[in-house]
Amino acid sequence: MRHGKYPFIIGFLVVPVALYAIFVVWAYIQAFYLSVYEWSGLGPVENFVGLGNFRKMWDDTLFWQSIKHNVFLLIFLPIITVILALIFAFLLNVGGGQKGGVTRGVWGSKVYRIIFFFPQLLALAIVAVIFGRVFGPDKSGMINGLFPESWQPWLFLADERYAMGCILVVLVWQAVGFYVVLFSAGMGNIPTEVYEAAAIDGASRMTLFFRITIPLLWNTVQVAWVYLGIAAFDAFALVNIMTVDRGGPDGATSVLSLMIYRNAFEFSQAGYASALGVVLFFLTLTFAWVTLSATRRESVEA
Amino acid sequence: MVAPAVTPTAPLKRRRKAKADEGVITVGRSRSGTILANTAGVVFSVLMLFPVYWVLNTAFKPADEVLALEPGFWPSNPTFDNFISAFNAPLFLKDMRNGVIITLIAVAGALVVGFLGALAIARFSFYGRKAIILVVLVVQLVPFLALLIPLFLMLQNVDLGFKKFDLTDSLPGVSITYLVLILPYTIWTLRGFISGIPRELDEAAMIDGCTRAQVFWRIILPLTGPGLVATSVYGFIQAWNEFIIINTLNSPENQNLMAWLLQNQTTRGTAWGPLMAGAIITSIPVVVFFLIIQRNIATGLTAGAVKG
């Protein structure tokens, strides 16, 4: 090439790299730094406590409760969402059977695609407000309102046993459409000939799904799993807005991110919040790394 | 990671072909299975849509019907009162304006910065390229909640050498933050689009006497058009719908409509009608943009996955 490329590279990358360096890298360095101090969030950062915040965490029952809830979401959110999304993506793309040797989706699959994606468009703030109504604990709640007057209304979010389940339902409801579209895109790239050949050999829908779709879509599923796991580590918005006493009743819906937020901005425990943030950082990255390496396998190319 | 190559037009073509061939030969497949599949689709759609329908239903009901114990599945006296009172509610218009300004700055900034960054990553090989790609990916993974405190501290003391600024409780502070928030996705997606443009085009143009800058400006930029549209819509949705950061950094006068909704949920308690009307107004821009690019949505989602 005639002209030097480095002026371009440096010119193009200086702004994004600077932004990342300041807003992400430097911010994280600060978070790590603050995590070894006891600090209210105001005034000078002086009171060095070393690993004191982490020791405090170890003895904090709410911390372990929150971890438990994060793990609950981490297990069920990806499983349920991926399974539902795979089934529906399959229906939309292949489920309609074959006509003239061409594989099709079920009737109306274009409309479904839009409908399923719809929840993705609503802001989490709105979703949380809506589902606050859906799970209303008295007769004005949407679900309770569907049943006869004489029935004892379900408490949903106000019941320790079901509160976390309600959060999970909303997370799945919101996420599934995105993954239907994502998987559909992946399936669109699987050559129809593959399905045709299998169908001619007498493969049933089930066989097509398990023997062709899943193996050829493995990479996409893997990515989906990581994204959903990260969503499970977050879950802040919904828990913060929807739950009783924010994280209640009695800590039954507390998650790590909520603890971070409340310690930082409500309990004046910015040091402790930063320590929790450090833990969340490592948990998330560990999860992503473990998932990606544990599910790695020879990818089958279409 | 071997990702499937994206050919956005392929499914469309296939669909057209399907229509042309319809009813020629039917390879036998269980009829009951087809019925089951269709039923599942309908039931699931109802579940997905019901809450949205309920928002619409509530928004058009007069106040007494909203609070009635018997849930009406249709507003018996549909009214626009809730929308009018949402518009007249304190700070609604102010926060709407704020949201528009912040989102526009963030999206426009991310597009410019992201396009140039994506160009560098997609078209040049250089030392540290892998590291930059890795950072872009990891940034999307790490939870930003842990960064709220440092972010607050940094924006509070922006020192430009000659003058110090406090960017908390201001529109520029949030705009920059949102820009950083949507930048990884923007870079990643645009990189996918740019990688899809054959390098032969660049080379041909350069042989014809284009400078490298002209190649970027005249060849790559126009060809990345659909990618720019897709990424700006996703950036828009993210920035428009964000409320945690803005709620933490800014006071209600400088927040957006999402934060407004939440404020009003807690302070007004049972005023569900105006709240739902507000939610609808807030969602309209997002839905409109979505419907515009709806056809290409899969392309936008997967473009980043193309190997480059």
* Domain that includes residue A228, residue range: 59-294
Helices (H), A189-235: 192-200, 205-207, 214-216, 218-234
B151 and A288: CB-CB below 8 Å? no
A5 and B258: CB-CB below 8 Å? no
Neighbours of B236 (CB within 10 A): 20
**Which range is least confidently modeled, A65-74, A133-142, B5-14, B41-50?**
B5-14
Q: Check CB contact of A154 with chain B, cutoff 8 Å.
A: no
- Residue type (1 letter), B160: L
B1 and A265: CB-CB below 8 Å? no
Cα dist from B38 to A34, A92, A194, B34, whole Å: 55, 10, 24, 6
- The domain spans of chain B are 31-79, 89-305
> Can you tell me the mean pLDDT for B259-284?
80
Residue A98 CA, chain-centre distance (Å), reads 35
Q: Complex ipTM, two decimals?
A: 0.82
CA atoms within 13 A on the CB side of A284: 25
Query: Residue B139's closest CA among A289, A25, A32, A78?
Result: A25
Report if residue A255 sits inside a domain.
Answer: yes
pTM: 0.83
Provide the angle, in degrees to the nearest 10, between the axes of the packed helices B92-123 and B257-268: 140
Q: Is the pLDDT of residue B87 over 70?
A: yes
Q: Rounded to an integer, what distance in angstroms lies between the CA atom of residue B279 and that of residue B266? A: 14
- How much is the pLDDT for B13? 41
Report if residue A36 sits inside a domain.
Answer: no
CA distance, residue A161 to nearest chain B CA (Å): 23
Q: Check CB contact of B220 with chain A, cutoff 8 Å.
A: no
Query: Residue B4's closest CA among A25, A301, A3, A51?
Result: A301
Q: Which CATH superfamily is domain B89-305 in?
A: MetI-like (1.10.3720.10)
- Per the structure, how many domains does chain A have? 1
Which residues in chain B have their CB less than 8 angstroms from residue A99's CB?
18, 21-27
Q: Rounded to an integer, what distance in angstroms lies between the CA atom of residue B111 and that of residue B83? A: 34
pLDDT tens for A182-216 read: 888 788 778 878 878 888 888 777 788 888 888 88
Report if residue A210 sits inside a domain.
Answer: yes
Helix (H, G, I), strand (E, B) or coil at B255: coil
pLDDT tens for B108-137 read: 999 999 999 998 888 888 888 888 888 777
> Can you tell me the mean pLDDT for B37-58?
82
| Domain of residue A131, CATH code | 1.10.3720.10
Report if residue A24 sits inside a domain.
Answer: no
For A34-70, give the DSSP string: HTTEE--SSS---EE-TTHHHHHHHT-HHHHHHHHHH
A189 and B7: CB-CB below 8 Å? yes
Q: Rounded to an integer, what distance in angstroms lies between the CA atom of residue B42 and that of residue B154? A: 50
Token look-up 């702004």 returns A15
CA distance, residue B120 to nearest chain A CA (Å): 5
Helix (H, G, I), strand (E, B) or coil at B23: coil
Q: Check CB contact of A83 with chain B, cutoff 8 Å.
A: no
Instruction: Determine the length of chain A.
Output: 302
Q: Check CB contact of A164 with chain B, cutoff 8 Å.
A: no
Q: Is the pLDDT of residue A68 over 80?
A: yes
- How much is the pLDDT for A69? 92
Q: Check CB contact of B142 with chain A, cutoff 8 Å.
A: yes
Which residues in chain A have their CB less than 8 angstroms from residue B287's CB?
121
- How much is the pLDDT for B178? 93
Q: Rounded to an integer, what distance in angstroms lies between the CA atom of residue B224 and that of residue B229? A: 9
Q: Of A107, A285, A301, which has the smallest distance from its Cβ to B38's Cβ? A: A107
Helix H, strand E, coil C: the string for A238-265 is HHHHHCCCCCCCCCCCCCHHHHHHHHHH
- How much is the pLDDT for B111? 94
Which residues in chain A have their CB less than 8 angstroms from residue B149's CB?
30-31, 34, 41, 264, 270, 273-274, 277
Report if residue A20 sits inside a domain.
Answer: no
CA distance, residue B169 to nearest chain A CA (Å): 15
Q: Rounded to an integer, what distance in angstroms lies between the CA atom of residue A157 and that of residue A76? A: 18
Helix (H, G, I), strand (E, B) or coil at B302: helix
- How much is the pLDDT for B133? 82
The answer for B 155-174 residues in CB contact with A (under 8 A) is none
